[in-house]
Amino acid sequence: MTEPAWKREIIALHDLFETYFLGETDDLTRVDAVLAADFSMVGPDGTSSIRAEVMAAITAGHGHSSSLTINTLDHQLVASDPAMLIAEYIEEHVLSDRTNRRRSTVVFTPDEAAPHGLVWRRVQETWLDH
């Protein structure tokens, strides 16, 4: 069975983050294509960031880890209509000395130019076992 586009998008973006933070790629073209111009994020510590701040943090993290694995688990569709889709998943970061997990909720909107037809508009993360 083919996974829904929203789930494939979540997995693909986090796979890219993993390779970027490991220093295996330096290409953020895909990230730039899938984060909407008005993208915003609330991190697990409650800090709110606009797109430019998120992109700067991602860029600064290039090659910062030698042992990172990022998994996304328990993907759930929360709500959907033609103008918006909301999904939830567990994001797990496995490092050589620790693992941390957060529950993430994402709001997508359709965009035919995006790789999976969706752009990220908002993400909210909450620590699970930090």
Q: What pLDDT band is residue 99 in, cutting at 50, 70 and 90?
A: very high
On the question of pLDDT at 130 being above 70, the answer is: no
pLDDT digits (tens, 9 = 90+) for 23-58: 999 999 999 999 999 999 999 999 999 999 999 999
Q: What average pLDDT is seen over the chain?
A: 96
Residue 108 confidence (pLDDT): 98
Specify the CATH number for the domain of residue 68: 3.10.450.50
Rounded CA separation 42/98 (Å): 23
Alpha carbons 94 and 70: distance in angstroms, whole number: 6
List own/partner pairs for 22-31 with CB under 8 A and 24 or more apart.
22/63, 22/65, 22/66, 22/68, 23/62, 23/63, 26/62, 28/55, 28/58, 28/59, 30/115, 31/55, 31/58
pLDDT single digits (tens) 15-27? 999 999 999 999 9
Structural domain count, the chain: 1
What confidence score (pLDDT) does residue 129 get?
79
Say which range, 69-73, 94-98, 121-125, has the weakest mean pLDDT.
94-98
Domain membership of residue 95 as a residue range:
5-127
Q: What's the rounded Cα separation, in Å, for the pair 113 and 33?
A: 8
Q: Where is 22: in which H helix or E strand?
A: none
